[in-house]
Chain A
Amino acid sequence: MQFGIFSVSDITRDPVSGETPSEAERIDAIVQIAEKAEEVGLDVFAIGEHHNPPFFSSAPTTLLSHIAAKTRKLIVSTATTLITTNDPVRIAEEYAMLQHLAKGRMDLMLGRGNTAPVYPWFGADIRQSLPLALENYNLLHRLWREDVVDWEGKFRTPLQGFTSTPRPLDDLPPFVWHGSIRTPEIAEQAAFYGDGFFANNIFWPKEHYIRLIKFYRQRYAHYGHGTEKQAIVGLGGQAYIAKRSQDAVKEFRPYFNEAPVYGHGPRMEDFMEQTPLSVGSPQEVIDKTLTFREHFGDYQRQMFLMDHAGLPLKTVLNQLDLLGEEVVPVLRKEIEARQDPETAKPPTHAGRVKDKYGDGPVRQPRPNANRGDNVTGGSPYQDSK
């Protein structure tokens, strides 16, 4: 099982100090947060994608390649990459490049984005959000698997003899998670391709997630990728940890009360009781997180939201110490002891290379010489005559 943190990339006023970090400060902070995640033994760092203030993460692959360069084991990922407003051709290129630079220590999660004004900034229409997401991914999936793609769809200009470069590292496409709360078509697409499915798990009633994850598992098996238990599931969650429960509650309350999404709404105690939010001692966070597998079945990746709502960098780093040292090691042990042996391993580049090639040779595409027309033609690589 993999454990990690995901950030929305919000730049939020600290309600306690009254300070709002500058973009420069917050961007520096996120790099330190990611490095800290590796230092305390977490497996994954993921960043969101936004194109409006007060968020900074408009160019996730740039950030993630920098983080990958500064770390050694950490998997960098997204939460989410917008499959609607990004051209799938650009996603194919940028994330394949990231995959090379990160030496395979990356994957990505696709989401649709729900802010209507963002769509027209990129020439898209939110009313077409779902078919756009589905069609774009169908294309992205091919761009990473076929050297030369001829394609025609509804939403972008056709492609004739197009080769997305660089080809994925080891000719193995990046692993993809599809994030959704309530859309069966997204779960169906994840199942059809044998990709991962991620439920953000921030808002309950959990019944929505339970049903959709169950549907995804059934369809994953239907399409022959494995059994329902072998489907690849990721979950979100959020926590604020202190050695003593009452300190956690006291420290986090002002941030909860003014949090961008649910602040000025429910009481923190109600939200803790009724959603996956844990605010308390390491043991309380452990106990709550252990209930997730009972609701959703054994899963491969647990992500925590730790750096939002204006929490200052120092606090976030301290939270990561507690998460990495006191919570996650116990969770690893407890989950390993309880996990169904049929459960699939979490996706890693090395594991997936092994699955694809066994002990055989790994394809390393070498391009043919440029024919002088800057167009690749039907066999751009030496082994694709």
Chain B
Amino acid sequence: MGQNFQLVVVSAGTSDPSSTRLLADRVAGRVTALAGKRGQTVGTTVIELRELATEIANALVSNHVGPKLQNAVATLRHADGIVASTPVYKAGASGLLTSFFQVLDNDLLIAKPVVLAATAGTARHALVVDDQMRGLFAYLRTVVVPTSLFASTEDWQDNGLTKRIDRAALELVALMTSGFEKTVRDESWGSYQHEYGSAGGTELTIDLDSDLMRLAAGGAAS
């Protein structure tokens, strides 16, 4: 009995096709192949952030979450693994990618395994993934695989990139297979901060036995 995984690719590439998307697709392809060898199946959904750009901007400035953004949240909620891929602009990840992850609820992605990937025109940007993107995904309490992916122009003709893609894909498959997310969510979900209706609308548990709830029902503040 093989497991079935939902893989979600989030791409902040802007051209069609973009090298950013291409890099993410190669990871998704390898994840599918490596999982297949273990008798697991992988369904892949792609979120192209360029199509959400206006809604992301609206959510940032006006709290208004549009329907495409709501769909993206629902997709991520069901993800077993995520590949987040971005171009590098001015020595940093695209604001489109960071803005998207910044408007999500803090607990939407807890314990989900993630491959981080970036593309750039020059190898001088190589540390953007490890130095900048990991912090954001640590804040979201995802578990980022050890191998970061970075592809500058010259990497596309270097077999080393393929090897690194293989490594990252295997790391992701291993984390998904281990059931890490499920264990964390099943056993310590309550120890993370949540808001009512956060986690993409799933976080609806109300602890009636909390100090604040007792205060709400006429008790004393602790």
For chain A residues 194-219, which have a beta carbon within 8 Å of chain B? 203, 205, 207-208, 211-212, 215
CB-CB under 8 A from A135, the residues of chain B are: 215, 220-221
For chain B residues 33-84, which have a beta carbon within 8 Å of chain A? 54-55, 57-58, 61-67, 70
Q: What's the dominant secondary structure at chain A's contact region?
A: helix
Report if B201 contacts A (CB, 8 A). Answer: yes
CB-CB under 8 A from A208, the residues of chain B are: 196-197
CB-CB under 8 A from B154, the residues of chain A are: none
| A155–B215 CA distance with the chains assembled, in angstroms | 13
Report if B216 contacts A (CB, 8 A). Answer: yes
| Stretch from A86-94, A183-191, A357-365 that touches the partner | A183-191
| A270–B217 CA distance with the chains assembled, in angstroms | 40
Contact assessment for A131 and B215 in the assembled complex, using a CB-CB cutoff below 8 Å: yes
CB-CB under 8 A from B213, the residues of chain A are: 184-185, 188
CB distance from A74 to the nearest CB of B (A): 31
CB distance from A189 to the nearest CB of B (A): 4
For chain A residues 244-303, which have a beta carbon within 8 Å of chain B? 261-266, 270-271, 274-275
CB distance from B22 to the nearest CB of A (A): 31
Report if B17 contacts A (CB, 8 A). Answer: no
Report if A153 contacts B (CB, 8 A). Answer: yes
For chain B residues 165-222, which have a beta carbon within 8 Å of chain A? 195-197, 201, 204, 206, 208, 212-213, 215-221
Contact assessment for B221 and A155 in the assembled complex, using a CB-CB cutoff below 8 Å: yes
Q: What sequence of 0s and 1s flags, for each residue 130-152 of chain A, a beta carbon within 8 Å of any chain B beta carbon?
A: 11001100100100000000000
Which of these, B62, B196, B215, contacts A182 with CB under 8 Å? B196
Contact assessment for A203 and B64 in the assembled complex, using a CB-CB cutoff below 8 Å: yes
CB-CB under 8 A from A381, the residues of chain B are: none
Report if A55 contacts B (CB, 8 A). Answer: no
**Total chain B interface residues with beta-carbon distance under 8 A:** 28
CB-CB under 8 A from B215, the residues of chain A are: 131, 134-135, 138, 185
Contact assessment for A266 and B64 in the assembled complex, using a CB-CB cutoff below 8 Å: yes
Contact assessment for A188 and B216 in the assembled complex, using a CB-CB cutoff below 8 Å: yes
CB-CB under 8 A from B217, the residues of chain A are: 188-189, 192
| A189–B218 CA distance with the chains assembled, in angstroms | 8
Contact assessment for A215 and B206 in the assembled complex, using a CB-CB cutoff below 8 Å: yes
Which of these, A189, A205, A262, contacts B62 with CB under 8 Å? A262
CB-CB under 8 A from B208, the residues of chain A are: 188
CB-CB under 8 A from B67, the residues of chain A are: 274
Contact assessment for B216 and A134 in the assembled complex, using a CB-CB cutoff below 8 Å: yes
A192-B204 contact given A155-B221, A266-B62, CB 8 Å threshold: no
Report if A338 contacts B (CB, 8 A). Answer: no
CB-CB under 8 A from A271, the residues of chain B are: 64
CB distance from B31 to the nearest CB of A (A): 31
| A153–B197 CA distance with the chains assembled, in angstroms | 30
Which of these, A189, A211, A264, contacts B216 with CB under 8 Å? A189
CB-CB under 8 A from A189, the residues of chain B are: 216-217
CB-CB under 8 A from B57, the residues of chain A are: 265
Contact assessment for A192 and B58 in the assembled complex, using a CB-CB cutoff below 8 Å: no
Interface residues of chain A, those whose CB is within 8 Å of chain B, are 130-131, 134-135, 138, 141, 153-155, 182-186, 188-189, 192-193, 203, 205, 207-208, 211-212, 215, 261-266, 270-271, 274-275
Given A138-B215, A215-B206, 13 additional A-B pairs, CB 8 A: A131-B221, A135-B220, A135-B221, A138-B219, A141-B218, A182-B196, A183-B196, A188-B216, A205-B201, A211-B204, A212-B196, A265-B57, A265-B58
Q: Can you pick out 9 interface pairs between chain A and chain B where the beta carbons lie within 8 Å of each other?
A: A131-B221, A134-B216, A135-B220, A138-B219, A153-B220, A153-B221, A184-B206, A265-B61, A266-B54
